[in-house]
């Protein structure tokens, strides 16, 4: 059974810092990996999607990398801003069978960026 772990569970940084969020998964046979953002009381917003054949994806100040063989992904946020404060969730879709299309989530990293 796929398990996804995110480290750290919480992170507090001053505005302007570059930071890294970590995600690991136990079964490397994945179809893709996604990073989401969730604001308090809101739904999830997809930030980046990395297919299993890709190594990284970039969107603005966000960069996500994927090392499938080691079961790891990182989300890099450059020049953090208070508006980046949210919970960041990593999720994988397993390859094959009836797992196709099903996201397995980590518990999330709660990020606070203070002015």
Partner 1 sequence: DAGVIQSPRHEVTEMGQEVTLRCKPISGHDYLFWYRQTMMRGLELLIYFNNNVPIDDSGMPEDRFSAKMPNASFSTLKIQPSEPRDSAVYFCASSPTSGRFFFGPGTRLTVL
> Which residues form the interface with partner 1 (CB under 8 A)?
31-32, 34, 36, 42-46, 49, 51, 89, 91, 98-99, 101-108
Nearer to partner 1 among residue 43 and residue 60 (C-beta): 43
Give dist(CA 40, CA 50) in Å, integer. 25
| Least CB distance to partner 1 at residue 44 (A) | 4
CA atoms within 13 A on the CB side of 17: 15
| Least CB distance to partner 1 at residue 88 (A) | 13
Least Cα distance to 106 among 24, 28, 41 occurs for 24
């Amino acid at each position: 059974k796929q398990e996804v772990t995110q480290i750290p569970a919480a992170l507090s940084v001053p505005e302007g810092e570059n930071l890294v969020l970590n995600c690991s998964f136990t079964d490397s046979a994945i179809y893709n990996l996604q990073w989401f953002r969730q604001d308090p009381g809101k739904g999830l917003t997809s930030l980046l999607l990395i297919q299993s054949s890709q190594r990284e994806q970039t969107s603005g100040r966000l960069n996500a990398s994927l090392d499938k063989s080691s079961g790891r992904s990182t989300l890099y946020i450059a020049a953090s801003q208070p508006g980046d404060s949210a919970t960041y969730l990593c999720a994988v879709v397993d390859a094959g069978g009836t797992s196709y299309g099903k996201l397995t989530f980590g518990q999330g990293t709660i990020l606070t960026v203070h002015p």
